[in-house]
Amino acid sequence: MWEGSGNNYAYLVVDEKSKDAVIIDPANPSEVLPVLKKQVDSGDIKLTNIINTHHHHDHAGGNSEMLKHYKLPIIGGRDCSKVTKTPKHGETFTIGDSIKVKALHTPCHTQDSICYLFEDGNDKAVFTGDTLFIGGCGRFFEGTAEEMHKALNETLAALPDDTKVYPGHEYTKGNVKFGIKIMQTEPIKKLEAFANSNKETQGKFTIGDEKLHNVFMRVDDPEVQKAVGKSKPVDVMAALREMKNAS
């Protein structure tokens, strides 16, 4: 959504068997509703929920308008507009017959940030909102370096390495431009090449990849520590964010 300005992603996730579906962060209804209407009217999907990753307007700001068209419960962070359910950290729910979803609280960008791990058989995907981007992370608007370190390097890093990452924005080009100044490793050079030749990067990289090419998930790396002049992981996180903000 808002291509060229916010480069936001909204995601439609469908359980193929039951046709049950959820829409994640449908913040710009004028772009989202025509797609949904076509699929709902044709019987391809049965929309069951709106899911929000956090309360910011460019993620949850479409909720009121969406509800005019689809009277659905909204699962999201406690501060999201019109939210009906805020799952606890680690709480699970299902979509249709086969998709299991686990809510992971990742406060920092906002205090109500929630990432959602989706599992269907062996397939795993995590929708990270503005907590984790491909090659980067969100600004610490409502939190601290400590909280982001925990969110990225404890909560999300603990997910299986083959979990695909679906962030809230397409920011990879900017992230890698910053990251490559900090470390010049093969994984980050590969990411740079991919970002330069592909407009979209969502779902193309995994948690395992992020641990290799995302400087914010390499706060223990001597090369990263040297680049920022800090050695404690939380201090490295804080310094990286400050440098990125200024870049």
Residue 41: burial class (beta carbons within 10 Å; 0-12, 13-18, 19+): exposed
User: Cα 171 to the chain's mean position, in Å?
Assistant: 11
Which is catalytic among the residues 15, 20, 130, 209? 130
Which is catalytic among the residues 25, 169, 209, 213? 169
Distance CA 25, CA 62 (A): 8
- State yes or no: is 58 an active-site residue: yes
Helix, strand, or coil (residue 59): helix
CB contact at 8 A, 195 and 201? yes
Which is catalytic among the residues 15, 25, 55, 59? 59
Helix, strand, or coil (residue 154): helix
- State yes or no: is 105 an active-site residue: no
Which is catalytic among the residues 55, 105, 109, 213? 109
What is the enclosing helix (H) or strand (E) of 168? none
- State yes or no: is 54 an active-site residue: yes
- State yes or no: is 169 an active-site residue: yes
User: Cα 142 to the chain's mean position, in Å?
Assistant: 17
| DSSP for 188-238, written as a single string | HHHHHHHHHH-S--TTSSBHHHHHHH-GGG-TT-HHHHHHHT--SHHHHHH
Indicate the DSSP class of residue 139.
-
Distance CA 5, CA 104 (A): 28
Query: Which residues are identified as catalytic?
Result: 54, 56, 58-59, 109, 130, 169
